[in-house]
Amino acid sequence: MAEPPETAPMEALESPTPPSYSSSYPKPQPIPSSSPSPPPSSMSRLWRPAAQRNLRNQWSKLASHRQQWASSSSSGKSHANSLVNVHLSQRYMPSLELGVLNDMPDIRKKACRKLCKQQELYRIKLLSSYKDMVAAVTQMVNACRSMRCYQTGTSNSTLVQFSNSSGDQNDTGDGGGVSVFVFLSISSHEKLAEELVRMFIMELNVKRLLVLEFLSISCEVPQDIGLHWGDQLYQGEFDNLSTLNLFSEETCEPVPPKLMDRKSDTPAVQCKNQPNPEVLQVYLTTWLAEVNINVHRRNIFSNWRGNACQPHISYSWKKNHWV
């Protein structure tokens, strides 16, 4: 007796979706059975392209926020340099040789008043650049925390939906640890992204120390009271630093700055309003150097962009470091 032909399962078709935070697919129709849930392999075939698309989006966002950081850091360096130049011009005005202008009444006082106004303008611009750097790093952290891909929607829905926000505590968002691109799982992508973002977080804290010093520069006579490390530089700064784990709840002030992978023994910082010119030059050089950002590793991460989202790097998993 001839056996009846087997009924082939319907293949799930992937519907094109714009690059966004969620994706939807027709739910695969299972062979009639006692279990209404789709086979794990079918769900994995739907989850993987959604996870790949989300990872590309998040790495692209990281690259974009890095560009925002570079632009804000460059602007901050320019404003700090102008602030230092104006401050030194004002400081040396009493002994400056003015030539034929020396006979003009109150020429030095008028020049000093104008230089003081310029200092205030550059202080405002420098603080604005610092706020932009904080915002850029905060967005880096958000992108780093959005790399997982979760299934959303109800079991009665005809579509399988995915998002980078969790709606089920039992869904880890990593597809059970399967590889997303070649040999790297989502958790591996997260570790690499965290390593990149960590460099910028540490550098931001050093930048804050320098901004504190530059903002303390005053055209007035030296005073005993200056800015302290625990002072809030703008409204809401401490909330932003808490998001980056740069604010200590125990001391109620920002975490002291340090170099990467080293403990901080920096004492309480109180800035001087008229530092030496040599010290100011060191501050400007330190700003430009970005001592906490490893240029080699930063360039390596640039290779993550592209359709394959596969880096051209060599990584030692056993020793857990780049080679």
Please say whether the dihedral angle defined by the alpha carbons of residues 285, 290, 291 and 297, taken in this order, is positive or negative. negative
- With a CB cutoff of 8 Å and minimum separation 6, the contacts of 256 are 205, 229, 264, 266, 269
At 158 the pLDDT is 56
At 46 the pLDDT is 77
Percent of the chain with pLDDT over 90: 37
At 315 the pLDDT is 37
- pTM across the whole model: 0.76
DSSP H or E run through 150? strand 150-152
At 203 the pLDDT is 96
Is the distance from CB of 86 to CB of 280 less than 8 angstroms? no
Mean pLDDT lowest for which of 86-95, 106-115, 177-186? 177-186
| Per-residue pLDDT reduced to its tens digit, 266-323 | 555 556 666 788 999 999 999 999 999 887 776 666 665 544 454 443 333 333 443 3
**pLDDT grade, residue 16 (50/70/90)?**
very low
User: In terms of pLDDT, which residue wins out, 9 or 159?
Assistant: 159
Mean pLDDT lowest for which of 19-23, 194-198, 298-302? 19-23
Q: Has residue 21 got a pLDDT over 60?
A: no
Is the distance from CB of 147 to CB of 186 less than 8 angstroms? yes
DSSP H or E run through 80? helix 40-91
Distance CA 292, CA 159 (A): 46
Q: Single out the residue of 261, 299, 275, 295 nearest to residue 209, CA to CA.
A: 275
Question: Which amino acid, one-letter code, is at 41?
Answer: S
Distance CA 220, CA 89 (A): 13
CA–CA distance from 107 to each of 77, 112, 117, 319, 320 (Å)? 30, 9, 16, 67, 64
What average pLDDT does range 47-52 have in this prediction?
A: 82
Residue with tokens 């520069």: 217
Q: Has residue 184 got a pLDDT over 60?
A: yes
Distance CA 2, CA 9 (A): 21
Mean pLDDT lowest for which of 39-53, 103-117, 147-161, 247-261? 147-161
What average pLDDT does range 144-168 have in this prediction?
A: 69
What average pLDDT does range 243-271 have in this prediction?
A: 79
CA–CA distance from 133 to each of 68, 200, 266 (Å)? 8, 9, 23
What average pLDDT does range 113-134 have in this prediction?
A: 95
At 297 the pLDDT is 75
| Per-residue pLDDT reduced to its tens digit, 87-98 | 998 887 777 777
**pLDDT grade, residue 213 (50/70/90)?**
very high
What average pLDDT does range 221-238 have in this prediction?
A: 80
Q: Mean pLDDT across the chain, nearest whole number?
A: 76
At 36 the pLDDT is 37
Q: What is the number of H-type helices and E-type strands within the chain?
A: 6, 9
Q: Has residue 218 got a pLDDT over 90?
A: no
153 — phi, psi (to 5°)?
Answer: 95, 170
> How would you list the strands of the sheet with 159-163, edge to edge?
22-26, 159-163, 150-152
Q: Has residue 49 got a pLDDT over 80?
A: yes
DSSP state of 172: -
At 219 the pLDDT is 64
At 304 the pLDDT is 54
What average pLDDT does range 150-162 have in this prediction?
A: 63
Q: What is the dihedral angle through the alpha carbons of 33, 34, 40, 44, rounded to the nearest 10 degrees?
A: 60
